[in-house]
Structures are given as C-alpha cells and as structure tokens.
C-alpha cells in the first residue's frame, strides 16, 4: 500500500464511529471506574459527597464501607443501584446512568433522600486510567480500517 493510499483511507474512515465502538467496548471498565469512585464517596468531579445528616446511619454505613470516611455516602447499600449501571455512547459522549428505581431519588432528592450531584461520570484521574486502553484500542481499530 502506498503512502497516498494510506492517506486516502485515513481521510475516508469514519473516526467518530471508531471512537464510539471503542468506548462501547470499554463500557464495563467505564462503569467499574465510576463505581470505584463512588466507593470512596467521590462524585464525577472528584469531590466528596455531602455528609449524611443522620449520625447513626453514618456509623452504620462506615461499618459497611470505611473507604469514603465516616458520614460520606458511597450510594451503596445492597448494591442494586450500582449493579444497574449502564452506558450509552453517542458521538464520543459517554452517558453513564442507572436503571434502578433508586436512581431517580438519588438524582432528584425526592422522598427522604438528599440529592446527589454528579453521581455519574469519570474524574480526571479515572479518565487517565481509561486513556491508555482507549488509545490502544483506537489505534488497533484505525489500523485495521485503513488496511495497515
């Protein structure tokens, strides 16, 4: 293959589609990174969630998971909310969400639950972890598409 053919193939390749395919293949890793952040009480901006108001519940939760610190939510009790995490990838945008019924209460603060901001998404540190895997997969797919 000549350099001109490689160049022409690169120009004609739908790179946005490849990006979406790579992110889709990394969906499980993206969800695990988001869940790991939550296990430390961190939102998508890397900030700790607001403390629980109920001291007794704070202590109970700290016994269940000490990583976030006493009083800092990890949004996990039985794990159903976390287990129902999904991703949608469109035009290079990653949308993380939970299909669990509790999601609505956590996102909006309805009922007796407080609202939590930026539950879904990756911190800059998590994005850095994802970056190497993304670049490797993107490079491999692009090479295959252009015939290298």
**Residues 14-48: tens digit of each pLDDT:** 999 999 999 999 999 999 999 999 999 999 999 99
Residue 111 has pLDDT above 80, yes or no: no
**pLDDT above 90 covers what percent of the chain?**
73
pLDDT at 112: 62
3 Cα distance to chain centroid = 38
pLDDT at 110: 65
Report the pLDDT averaged over residues 118-131.
95
- Domain segments of the chain: what residues? 14-146
pTM, two decimals, is 0.88
Q: What is the DSSP letter of 47?
A: P
């Amino acid at each position: 293959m000549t350099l001109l053919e490689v160049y022409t193939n690169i120009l004609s390749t739908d790179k946005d589609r490849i990006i979406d395919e790579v992110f889709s293949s990394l969906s499980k890793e993206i969800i695990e990174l988001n869940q790991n952040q939550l296990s430390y009480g961190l939102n998508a901006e890397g900030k700790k969630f607001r403390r629980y108001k109920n001291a007794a519940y704070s202590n109970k939760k700290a016994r269940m998971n000490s990583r976030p610190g006493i009083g800092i939510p990890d949004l996990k009790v039985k794990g159903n909310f976390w287990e129902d995490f999904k991703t949608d990838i469109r035009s290079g945008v990653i949308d993380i969400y939970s299909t669990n019924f509790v999601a609505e209460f956590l996102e909006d603060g309805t009922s007796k639950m407080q609202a939590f901001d930026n539950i879904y998404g990756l911190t800059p540190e998590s994005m850095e972890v994802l970056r190497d895997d993304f670049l490797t997969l993107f490079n491999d797919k692009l090479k295959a598409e252009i015939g290298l």
